[in-house]
Amino acid sequence: MSKYLTAEQISELLSVPLETVKYWIKVRRLPAVKPGRRPLVSEDDLSAFLAAHPYGRPPVNEHARRAAAGIGSKQGRAVMAARRAAAGK
């Protein structure tokens, strides 16, 4: 029988914001079961999810990245515009 992990455990394991893991579960990128209040992800499903990404770590959505950095929407737009300008886009 496979071991199950919570979103919090996956967040710590992958070093991504908790909001990102919850988003992956919500949009069904990461299969989960919900026997109670918290969704649980099997280790097998997590391994398959990670194997599907060539760099070993799935991309973090921009909303979760800004939330983790404590950047509000106006600040976030300014920061992202500066990053795009620095990257030449």
pTM of the model: 0.61
CATH number at 60 reads 1.10.1660
The 3 state secondary structure assigned to the chain is: CCCEEEHHHHHHHHCCCHHHHHHHHHCCCCCCECCCCCCEEEHHHHHHHHHCCCCCCCCCCHHHHHHHHCCCHHHHHHHHHHHHHHHCC
Domain encompassing residue 52: 4-87
Work out how many domains the chain is built from and give that number.
1
User: Per residue in 23-76, pLDDT tens?
Assistant: 899 988 899 999 888 999 999 999 888 888 766 566 666 666 666 666 555 666
